[in-house]
Structure 1
Amino acid sequence: MAKMRTRLIGVLILLTASLTTRGAPSAAASPTAEGVAAAPPGSLWFDEQAATAFTVDHGRFTDGLGREVVLRGYNVSGETKLEENGGLPFASVADAEKSATALRALGGGNSARFLLSWAHAEPVRGQVDRAYLAAATAQMRAFIKAGIRVHPDFHQDLYSRYLFNEGSWYTGDGAPKWVVEAGGYPRESCGICLFWGQNITQNEAVKRATYDFWHNRGGVQDAFLATAQATMAYFAEHLDAAEFAAVAGFDPYNEPHAGTYDSGQTSRMWERDVLWPFYTRFRARMDAAGWQGKPAFVEPNLFWNSNLSFQKQEGGLLDAGAIGPRYVFNTHFYDQKAISGVFMWGKAKDGQYAGDFGTVRDRAAGAGTAAVVSEFGHPLTGTVSDKAPTVGKAMYQALDSRLPGAGWWSKPERSGPVLSGTQWQWDIYHGRHHELMNGNPGKVLTAADAWNDEDLSAVRLDDSGTAVLRQDGRLLDRIYPSATAGQTVAFTYEDRSRDGSTTLTWNPVPKSLPRVSELVGSGQYALLLWKSNASASPTELHLPASFDPARTTVVSDLGKAHGLPSYDRGTPIAAAPEPGGTGSRRLLLTAPNATVLHHALITNGAAAPSAELLQAAREELAAWSEGRG
């Protein structure tokens, strides 16, 4: 759902099959080859084994050590939807490396949804462009080397840019030109459309083309699946074993929608009878391409969780049954009310999206799998951009816990799992584009995202070419439990991000814990409750740049520390670099007892807490935690 939202969308489409000989493939080892690449900078003794696997186990993501994994990051990037760099996220591998380093070090991300273009992967029917795949592989590798897991996405919006003409108000991306030429579609027109996403349900050309894809008119869906298989096989062949292990899975189709329903068909019936069979076909293509151990990140009808009642449609893959571990429940969320400028007055508040994201948790649990919110965000300029700081905070809060901050401390065990998510979007070319909209030399787009008047990128390059954030770093660079040795019971993070000059504090430490409150003060803090699994490997939490290890305080049943020591095997509380050499850091908590509920408070609030304060806060937390088992 990327972006200027009503924007829910539906179809990507990528196409067909046989590999042409354009471009030389890179000469990397097969993922089945013997030997594993050298561990990346910052790696510790357990990191190599942790990186060997990524899968779904009992409704949660797990790594090669069986630890519960949370993915946090960004979509990389909407540049793929443009033509200026040939459907690639970046103009060069060097730019990809710059972006990946910034995503890790500034944005705090450990994952990226990596966009691909079907139109560029298969410009001629039946011929996959190996030069395009080689370039995409090299750029993807830059993120993997930075310690970032990726899941590719053959992206589509409004089916295809080739449905639109030079004078159009809007544009699309996805299907190649030859698909549209064969369709014989009417001239596109959205009528009175305030948002580009309205084309999904109002533009007859988009509706018919989308319908044809789902009904495989002219074998177009077959062609897409063949190209998807060829693409996945290329990645499996040209990434080495360690690199391929960092590929989390594949998103088959961005924001699916029927286009037009058949007579008597409901959205739920369409998911059951049309969308799910497509996913099973895609899953078979994954297996044939050597992706048997990786899940498909499948999306339901994009309107299933809209928070506008007139737009909402029944769905959420309700009839798919227990789909894990070969599938992940993958959804998007944008606050349509806030984006409309009409249906939500004022700013987002504490717990604003607890119900919406709780529904995501419930649907994933019902499907027996893990969930990821692979797109979320809010416009950063325009008439509703004043809501962005609070909408962003409320969305991250809802990813962390299904509880509002006001009630978290009283019943934290009701938090539910910490959700994975990738924000839309991470585009270092923000405001520096040179995109001929629909090929029109008289309509060169340079500003913002250069896409249908959207502006959602969290990053840009300054005049020196350095990546800088466009949103509050306190909001984006967050503590989260990236790998839990056991099971997460509850988690919260008070980021103290700003709305203008106002500090947003939605989860203050309760007055019943005065020494903990004194320790935290006006600083940021996180609190994790988890049951360990007696593993020798530690629980990991990402440490934002605002948490200098020398001034970070941890109070836990494992001990207490102000100023974190460097990690040494067996050290219960320590800090270490995150793999990838980007300068980002992690907190490592080693808990030996599998039968105990552990807790850890992490804060940067006190500059020099006394030993007495640390001990008093530890005793308060221990007493509070006793009733949580």
Structure 2
Amino acid sequence: MATRRRTVVLAVLASSVLCLLPSFPGAAATRGTEPVPYDARATEVTVDGTRFVDGYGREVVLRGFNVSGGTKLAEHGGLPFAGVEDARKAARALRERGGANSVRFLLSWAAAEPARGTVDEAYLAAATAQIREFLAVGLRVYPDFHQDLFSRHLFDADSWYQGDGAPRWVVEAGGYPREFCGICAHWGQNITQNQTVKDAMRDFWTNRNGVQDAFLDTAQATMAYLAGHLDPSEFAGVVGFDPYNEPYAGQYAGGQDGAGWERELLWPFYERFRARMDAAGWQDKPALVEPNMFWNSNLSFMKQPGGLAGLAAHGPRYVFNTHFYDQARMSGFFDLTKARDGAYAADFAAVRGRSAALGAPAVVSEFGHPLTGTASDKAPSVLKGMYQGLDSGLGGRAWWQAPASAGPVLSATQWQWDVHSGRHQEAMNGNPRKILTEGDAWNGEDLSAVRLDAAGNPVLRQDARLLDRLYPTAVAGRTLAFLYEDRSRDAGGTQNWSPVPASLPAVAGLVGTELPYGVLVWRADGGRAPTELHLPAGFDAAATTVVSDLGTVTGPAAGAPFAVAPEPGGTAARRLLVSGAPAGLHVALVSAAPATAEQRGSAQRELVRWLAGAGFGQG
């Protein structure tokens, strides 16, 4: 109760402060009405065709991290964090240093249903308390029942690998033989080579021993608990639910392939899960459904048919939810090169294509790259390339030439945000002689973007310029194109993939070559609520320059049409507001570099001419 009272008080105070600030500046001055207050309508997210929208009808992009891989471990009882205080610390740091507005929150079926038919409400209470800390700082949340290799209980104390997901009683009911992977250099090979893992996963999809029924019962109880124990303002920040992490067949029936398995077994499971969401009070929230995990592999010998192709349009009750990892570069031998400009344009074009075909928004709920090991030198370029692909369907050089082909900005959550990184005390498969402390403490992985320093404070393990990004969080209308050049670093220096073309010399001179900049093109709907972009901590508000057809400024404060205001949630995170935009086509360039009025004026004239000839049409 103390936590809930604190959350409500903080929410009221934050709302009051934001109402006193000109949170939606310019609306009164330009439209003759009172500014719109920041309220629950700005927090809630629903599905509108291929877009997420808030209560004001603004197009929403969800960006953040998975919290966290600690759920896979027994160390904290299937929870992401050791306790509420660690969750609070992680949430605030994620908001202020990770630039996030959302999280994918991992849950454990094994912890939620330790005995068949018995839901552990103490676990659900602890998970809810940790979720509440993320909601309290203004982050949206979507829970995920996580699994890898089906269950930790398939593996013996002396096994080379470990899993997570299903409870012990499920494995015991299956009567599986001792697992064996053969010559497996990576834990993921168990998916296709370990017969015990394959049999257990097949049994889940065919509902052998009623295990899928039991999972759905537990999922419904979990969702009902969350709906009943989060207050309405908190529950408004829950986007939806990810039913099952990285589904795969285990074994196909005779003549079946990935696409057939999706139609015959995976999609009926999602329809059953959707019905459980409705019964638990989640009628207005979507299921974030994942396809066959191999549908978009960038290793040809692993790629399979899928992507939920051939299924009817999803409608507003589903979201197309997929993962992407550069398995070739992660391998350390299939691709030894670093990523380059446009490296993942085709991979993310496939995601955009599935979103359009299914008539549903897309979210890439996992992506990332190892931070230690033989392939870790590629991490700065791989992550930059992935964020570039999420922002735009074009490489940086191509974007300026054909921005109308850039496609929508994709929502995504990076793997992962684990404040216990490098500090774990995990007995691998319950073996007290194999205590794992390094990295993620799970199958040799090390992907957390954060750790705790000696004083117990969260610090980033990756370049802040890469993680804390400018991006459109709420667009009053439709985003037509977006580019962000983060100017993050790798061992070779600044990664500058989006140089401004020579035909725009004033724009090029304004943004320079070292400080980050972004460009948003949108078609405004004329509504009162402003367009919002997350403003990274690395942008000094007094030096930030905005150049737009709506005006120009260096050092936006609290005026129209540009202002800097706090992100909701009471942290130091900030947003850039663009208000008073009449219906029609607009552009805004945001740079971390200060500029004189003369520089801004020259850049504005170039930018407006560029927009007119960029192929977006009129109006």
Q: TM-score range by the shorter chain?
A: over 0.9
Q: Could you tell me which residue of structure 2 aligns to residue 499 of structure 1?
A: 490
Listed one character per residue, the Cα deviations across residues 59-97 of structure 1 (whole Å, up to 9, x for unaligned) are 100011110000000000000000111000111111101
- What secondary structure is seen at the aligned counterpart in 1 of 2:250? coil
Q: Could you tell me which residue of structure 2 aligns to residue 619 of structure 1?
A: 605
Pairing 1:59-70 to 2, within 5 Å after superposition? 59-70=50-61
2:354 corresponds, among 363, 366, 372, to 363
CA distance in structure 2 between the partners assigned to 1:160 and 1:102 by the alignment = 31
Distance change >3 Å, CA 144–CA 513, structure 1 → 2: same
1:38 aligns with 2:29: no
1:598 aligns with 2:554: no
Pairing 1:416-455 to 2, within 5 Å after superposition? 416-455=407-446
Q: Could you tell me which residue of structure 2 aligns to residue 310 of structure 1?
A: 301
CA distance in structure 2 between the partners assigned to 1:126 and 1:38 by the alignment = 40
1:605 Cα deviation (Å)? 2.2
1:28 Cα deviation (Å)? 6.6
1:267 corresponds, among 258, 274, 297, to 258
2:520 corresponds, among 520, 528, 542, to 528
Native 8 Å contact 1:71 1:482 kept in 2: yes
**Which residue identity does 2:377 align to in structure 1?**
D
Distance change >3 Å, CA 151–CA 457, structure 1 → 2: same
1:420 Cα deviation (Å)? 0.4
1:201 corresponds, among 192, 214, 235, to 192
Pairing 1:176-187 to 2, within 5 Å after superposition? 176-187=167-178
- What secondary structure is seen at the aligned counterpart in 1 of 2:39? helix
TM (normalized to structure 1)?
0.93
Listed one character per residue, the Cα deviations across residues 382-403 of structure 1 (whole Å, up to 9, x for unaligned) are 0010110000000000000000
2:231 corresponds, among 219, 235, 240, to 240
Listed one character per residue, the Cα deviations across residues 147-167 of structure 1 (whole Å, up to 9, x for unaligned) are 100000010000000000000
Q: Could you tell me which residue of structure 1 aligns to residue 565 of structure 2?
A: 576
**Which residue identity does 2:607 align to in structure 1?**
L
Q: Could you tell me which residue of structure 2 aligns to residue 252 of structure 1?
A: 243
Native 8 Å contact 1:37 1:241 kept in 2: no
CA distance in structure 1 between the partners assigned to 2:326 and 2:87 by the alignment = 30
1:471 corresponds, among 462, 467, 471, to 462
Q: What root-mean-square deviation, in Å, do the aligned CA atoms of Structure 1 and Structure 2 show?
A: 1.6
CA distance in structure 2 between the partners assigned to 1:49 and 1:166 by the alignment = 49
1:559 corresponds, among 535, 548, 551, to 551
TM (normalized to structure 2)?
0.94
- What secondary structure is seen at the aligned counterpart in 2 of 1:120? helix
Pairing 1:119-130 to 2, within 5 Å after superposition? 119-130=110-121
Listed one character per residue, the Cα deviations across residues 197-225 of structure 1 (whole Å, up to 9, x for unaligned) are 11011111111110100000011000000
1:51 Cα deviation (Å)? 3.5
Native 8 Å contact 1:558 1:573 kept in 2: no
Q: Which moved more, 1:323-332 or 1:41-50?
A: 41-50
Q: Percent identity?
A: 64
CA distance in structure 2 between the partners assigned to 1:51 and 1:614 by the alignment = 32
Native 8 Å contact 1:111 1:148 kept in 2: yes
CA distance in structure 2 between the partners assigned to 1:599 and 1:324 by the alignment = 31
Native 8 Å contact 2:407 2:480 kept in 1: yes
CA distance in structure 2 between the partners assigned to 1:373 and 1:617 by the alignment = 35
CA distance in structure 1 between the partners assigned to 2:166 and 2:459 by the alignment = 33
Listed one character per residue, the Cα deviations across residues 404-454 of structure 1 (whole Å, up to 9, x for unaligned) are 111100110111000000000000000000000000000000111000000
Distance change >3 Å, CA 590–CA 397, structure 1 → 2: same
1:588 corresponds, among 577, 595, 598, to 577
1:626 Cα deviation (Å)? 1.1
Pairing 1:289-308 to 2, within 5 Å after superposition? 289-308=280-299
Q: Could you tell me which residue of structure 2 aligns to residue 74 of structure 1?
A: 65
CA distance in structure 2 between the partners assigned to 1:232 and 1:40 by the alignment = 28
1:611 Cα deviation (Å)? 1.4
Unaligned runs of 5+ in 2: 24-35
1:341 Cα deviation (Å)? 1.6
Native 8 Å contact 1:51 1:245 kept in 2: no
- What secondary structure is seen at the aligned counterpart in 1 of 2:418? coil
Listed one character per residue, the Cα deviations across residues 481-511 of structure 1 (whole Å, up to 9, x for unaligned) are 0100000000000000001241000001111
CA distance in structure 2 between the partners assigned to 1:528 and 1:611 by the alignment = 21
Listed one character per residue, the Cα deviations across residues 45-70 of structure 1 (whole Å, up to 9, x for unaligned) are 53214335311102100011110000
1:322 aligns with 2:313: yes
Distance change >3 Å, CA 264–CA 343, structure 1 → 2: same
Q: How many residues in Structure 1 have an aligned counterpart in Structure 2?
A: 595
CA distance in structure 2 between the partners assigned to 1:593 and 1:51 by the alignment = 20
Listed one character per residue, the Cα deviations across residues 227-260 of structure 1 (whole Å, up to 9, x for unaligned) are 0000000000000001000000000000000000
- What secondary structure is seen at the aligned counterpart in 2 of 1:126? coil
Distance change >3 Å, CA 612–CA 156, structure 1 → 2: same
Native 8 Å contact 1:357 1:402 kept in 2: yes
Native 8 Å contact 1:405 1:506 kept in 2: yes
Native 8 Å contact 2:567 2:573 kept in 1: yes
